[in-house]
Chains A and B, each alone.
Chain A
Amino acid sequence: MYEGAVQDLIDELGRLPGVGPKSAQRIAFHLLAADPDEVKRLVDALTEVKNKVRFCERCGNVAQDELCRVCLDPRRSDATICVVEEPKDVVAIERTREFRGRYHVLGGAINPIAGVGPDDLRIAGLMSRLQDGTVTEVILATDPNVEGEATATYLARLLVPMGITVSRLASGLPVGGDLEYADEVTLGRAFEGRRRISA
């Protein structure tokens, strides 16, 4: 145990995800030895993120104003919505530079054992965005795990009867991997989603 303030800092850092007691101690002593300006920048960044950042009223992504950067961008297509679980998934898809539509962040996935059902997600918000007929395709980009797949199944069942094109991100072999190390489920899905190569 250290003296008051140092121990308090270690305890607070140790509550962060992925930071164990040893890491918390290392970060605390790094901050203790750091330049005061550097520490002030960190303090300002933490204060600002809590004060200014909120969730976009339309899509649920992180935003500094009522609407996020993606929802405000007039160059993006309103015809396609990509549905993701978390704001960090928006960043992951944006990195691909393949998608130029809008997003909708559900805020999680259906996980009954954890007590998360459809009513706990931003599904009503998605449905209201589809009412005016502007959106013609919804891409379901929930995680390719059991909870994500079940969420996609649930959403597809709601959306298909509305006459909207519903698609799911493809699953298969990771680029740069070896076929022999792929598990049966992934390899099976890669076969199912194989595409024709035309000469």
Chain B
Amino acid sequence: MRTYRDEGVVLRTHKLGEADRIVTLLTREHGVVRAVAKGVRRTSSKFGARLEPFMHVDLQLHVGRNLDIVTQVEMIGPYARAIVADYAMYTSGTVMLETAERLVDEREASLQQFRLLAGGVRSLAAGEHAPSLVLDSYLLRALAIAGWAPSFSECARCGAPGPHHSFAVALGGSVCLRCRPPGAASPAPETVTLLAALLAGDWEVADASQERHRREASGLVAAYSQFHLERRLRSLPHVERV
């Protein structure tokens, strides 16, 4: 019997049969893993609430033919409870989970993506920053790890030093006047500063930003994410920005 142990964040669950669930996790060492949690929907289940989305857990899995089987679970971070108690946190968090599933392949370990998601979910649950800021920061950094780092200082096309006042999603961020394609956005300079702070994790600047700049930044991050992920994120239209 081949078993392995890993740490993971639960991304989503699907009902399976009478009382089972298929649990999708982003793990530290095995990338995205889909596994069956037997009997988890019964009130007497030994897994209880540990295999709910947003939970950070330590697991033991048995290698199955198609799907692995969860045999043991220990809690590392019970983040779901705090997140579901705040609707804005919940909707932001679901976008983070969906993005992580989209960016990491099954069985392809990505330690950076795992650390980013686990840290992002922890920060969201702790209420350290506005949920929309945590989400936008997560999206920018997750895309950067995946190879689509946006540029907010130099021109994304010719590399001319900035700051620049145009933002072109398809070209990869801020662009100079010469490279500016038709239809490029012209965000406020404060919005570009906020975006750079969110990408760098400069929370002092991000937390001090104004609501209108946050809204503008969220729109650009959403457009940038959708463009590079190619398929639309189903959870993104449901995000509540307060």
| A positions within 8 Å CB-CB of B | 18, 110-115, 117, 144-146, 149-150, 153-154, 157, 174, 176-177, 181-186, 188
Contacts and interface: CB of A to CB of B under 8 A. Distances in A.
A157 B97 CA distance: 24
Contacts of B80: 146, 149, 185
Interface in B45-83: 46-50, 52-54, 75, 78, 80-81, 83
A184 B75 contact: yes
Contacts of A114: 234
22 contacts: A18-B18, A112-B98, A112-B235, A112-B238, A113-B234, A113-B235, A115-B235, A117-B238, A145-B49, A146-B80, A146-B83, A149-B84, A149-B85, A150-B87, A157-B87, A177-B44, A184-B50, A184-B75, A184-B78, A185-B49, A186-B48, A188-B81
B12 interface: yes
A183 B94 contact: no
B17 A18 contact: yes
Given A146-B54, A154-B87, A183-B75, A112 B44 contact: no
What range describes how many residues of B lie at the interface? 20 to 34
A114 B13 CA distance: 10
B234 A115 contact: yes
Q: Which of B50, B75, B98, B234 has the most CB of A within 10 A?
A: B234
A86 to B, nearest CB: 12
Q: Which of A112, A176, A185 has the most CB of B within 10 A?
A: A112
Given A153-B90, A177-B44, A183-B47, A112 B84 contact: no
B199 interface: no
A112 B95 contact: yes
Given A153-B85, A157-B87, A146 B78 contact: no
A91 B52 CA distance: 25
B91 interface: yes
Contacts of A176: 44
